[in-house]
């Protein structure tokens, strides 16, 4: 049987979902016997690879780089999982949405609430550009499975991965319209 190619992506989230993935502890050794981690914030890989079987996306879509990476991941992955509540619903990351436009938000954060002589970072190509609104992943690309939780617990992550490794439909599946 060929080895499963797994990727994980960290977009607009706190990394807590990836920490929960690492909480799988010794089961990660079993996982490594069946699968290759081909892209992840915990692996030193610069470009999202082609021919990925399963991609877990942590975090919401908050800036132009998230948007671009989500589309690349969708094109190159058979299965996309919205991994955790920020990916599923926007959650904490989307709390900025009611606060105004990105310009208003940056003004508040860098100047009004910190330093009246402060400067808003503006380095095209270096500092990502905030989108008008933070969006859950499924508003940007089609998602196959949703794993809710903030973060999802390690046993639920394991249940999802075990199902996908054996070609079964995960019982944790929650589909949104
Ligand atoms: Fe962090 Fe919770 Fe969002 Fe995961 S769902 S990235 S743990 S805030």
Ligand 1, residue 85: give the atom nearest the CA.
Answer: 5
Residue 176 pLDDT greater than 60, yes or no: no
Ligand 1 centre distance from Cα of residue 116 (Å): 32
CATH classification (class only), 4-95+130-166: alpha beta
pLDDT in the model for residue 96: 96
- Give tens-digit pLDDT for 15-53: 999 999 999 999 999 999 999 999 999 999 999 999 999
Chain segment 60-113, per-residue pLDDT in tens: 999 999 999 999 999 999 999 999 999 999 999 999 999 999 999 999 999 999
Rounded to whole angstroms, the Cα distance separating 31 from 36 reads 8
Name the 3-class secondary structure at 145.
Answer: strand
What is the value of ipTM here, to two decimals?
0.99
For residue 158, report the distance from its CA to the centre of ligand 1, in Å: 17
- 18, 19, 84: which to mutate for ligand 1, most atoms within 8 A of CB? 84
DSSP string, 52-72: EEEEEEESBEEEHHHHHHHHH
């Amino acid at each position: 049987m060929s080895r499963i190619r797994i990727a994980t992506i960290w977009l607009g989230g706190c990394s807590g979902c990836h920490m929960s993935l690492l909480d799988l502890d010794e089961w990660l050794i079993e996982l490594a016997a069946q699968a290759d981690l081909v892209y992840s914030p915990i692996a030193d890989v610069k470009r999202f690879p082609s021919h990925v079987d399963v991609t877990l996306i942590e975090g919401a879509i908050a800036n132009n780089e998230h948007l671009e990476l989500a589309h690349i991941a969708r094109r190159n992955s058979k299965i996309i999982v919205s991994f955790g509540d920020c990916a599923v619903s926007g959650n904490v990351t989307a709390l900025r949405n009611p606060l105004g436009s990105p310009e208003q938000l940056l003004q508040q954060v860098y100047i009004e609430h910190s330093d009246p002589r402060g400067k808003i970072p503006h380095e095209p190509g270096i500092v990502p550009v905030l989108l008008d609104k933070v969006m859950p992943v499924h508003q940007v690309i089609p998602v196959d499975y949703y794993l809710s939780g903030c973060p999802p617990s390690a046993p639920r992550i394991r249940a999802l991965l075990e199902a996908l490794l054996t070609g079964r439909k995960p019982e944790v599946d929650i589909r949104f319209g």
